[in-house]
Amino acid sequence: MAPLTSIAWVDNQVRILDQTKLPGEIAYNTIVTITEMYDAIKMLKVRGAPAIGVAAGFGLYLGMKDFPDSSSLADFLTLLLKNADFLASSRPTAINLFWALERVKKVVHSQKDVLSVSQLKELLLKEAIAILEEDKAMCQKIGEFGFSLLKEHKTLLTHCNAGGLATAAYGTALSPIYVGLEKGKAFKVYADETRPLLQGSRITALELMEAGVPVTLICDNMAAFVMAQGKIDAVIVGADRITANGDTANKIGTYSVALAAKEHGIPFYVAAPSSTFDTTLESGKEIPIEERGQEEIVNGFGKLTGPEKVPVYNPAFDVTPHRYITAIITEKGVLEPPFTESIATIIS
């Protein structure tokens, strides 16, 4: 497994790896306030749908930990909702963010009539830690199911980062690769660089190299040609939100990879925990897509790469229609088409 850790509870503090500094610097930050956690999510210091969910749980605790024990329960609950809304506004697409916040709010409300304010704060922390530990276990299971599906393949292509640094550990799309490594199977991986923030080159390539996995970095616009050359056996990516019919939102560029894979007869797999499914949405047309600033494209990493005043359209995600997805790998098993039916079997 990759030795780098995205988020952890260490010495009674939240510690995150500042992924904006990768690969040049490996720097861990201690997050002590809800505002710091909001900024960490918004600025992509912590990123990846599952890791964002974990961060949200801890962020809500940080926003409540200093609430006076002697104050009223009503004031406590009012602030809890305000803080949850604040964190929810950090990024709109990754459903795990909202899932974690709703989970924590629900457990607090279920105990508000029997626990004191002090005990409710302890419950908040306990639930945040539980989300962290459950994410580790879910990623392990995704890896095991994914490895069983992929073990006959030799070379995989992935887009963006869905490894240990996008989760609490192991990752989603990269988890089968790490499980394979533990079982003596060394997959070869092609990693798309993933414009404009280069999560594939800055993070995935680094993470795989740290783990001893053979990885080759390519530009995004090379993926179809690499497939045409017969270098790719399967594609596996993560997800930020999956709707009831299997449409999948993931980092911008994923849709293009899926189209290329379909053209070349290459299986296209999505790996995600059940918390990434949003069955309140019927299709990907309903998924809110985050748009980010023009500086990421025309002035990325401090280098001017376009006219300063040129209009920019910068969606952070796209949606891959379910018809291009071969299977979805979850901690509860592998889901196959028709996805409306198979997804319903794991989402209660």
Is 1 within a domain?
no
Q: CB atoms < 10 A from the CB of 308, how many?
A: 9
How many residues comprise the chain?
Answer: 348
Look at residue 13 and tell me whether its pLDDT is greater than 80.
yes
Nearest by Cα to 66 from 39, 35, 109: 35
- Of the three residues 137, 164, 183, the one that is the final residue of a domain is 137
Both 150 and 289 in one domain: the answer is yes
Both 324 and 212 in one domain: the answer is yes
Look at residue 228 and tell me whether its pLDDT is greater than 50.
yes
Q: Is there a contact between 168 and 51 (Cβ–Cβ < 8 Å)?
A: yes
Is 2 within a domain?
no
Q: Is there a contact between 120 and 108 (Cβ–Cβ < 8 Å)?
A: yes
DSSP structural state of residue 170: S
Supply the DSSP string of 213-269, one letter for each residue.
Answer: --EEEE-GGGHHHHHHTT--SEEEE--SEEETT--EEEETTHHHHHHHHHHTT--EE
Look at residue 1 and tell me whether its pLDDT is greater than 60.
no
Segment 208-221 shows an average pLDDT of 96
Q: What percentage of residues in the chain have a pLDDT greater than 70?
A: 99
- 233 is annotated as an active-site residue: no
The strands making up 13-17's β-sheet, listed across from edge to edge, are 7-10, 13-17, 28-31
Look at residue 19 and tell me whether its pLDDT is greater than 80.
yes
The separation between the first and the last C-alpha atoms of the chain, rounded to the nearest angstrom, is 31
Both 213 and 92 in one domain: the answer is no
Task: Please give the C-alpha separations between residue 312 and each of 93, 196, 247, 260, 264, in angstroms, as whole numbers.
Answer: 20, 12, 26, 25, 32
Q: Return the pLDDT at 3.
A: 57
Q: Return the pLDDT at 270.
A: 98
- Of the three residues 137, 167, 185, the one that is the final residue of a domain is 137
Segment 161-170 shows an average pLDDT of 94
Q: Considering the entire predicted model, what is its pTM?
A: 0.93
Segment 132-144 shows an average pLDDT of 97
List, in order, residues 6 or more apart from 265 with CB less than 8 Å away: none
Element (H, E) at 51: helix 49-64
240, 247, 278, 318: the catalytic one is 240
At residue 311, the 3 state secondary structure works out as: coil
* Amino acid, single-letter form, for residue 25: E
Q: Is there a contact between 188 and 154 (Cβ–Cβ < 8 Å)?
A: yes
Look at residue 209 and tell me whether its pLDDT is greater than 70.
yes
Split into its structural domains, the chain has a count of 2
Q: Return the pLDDT at 2.
A: 43
Which range of residues forms the domain containing residue 124? 7-137
Is 225 within a domain?
yes
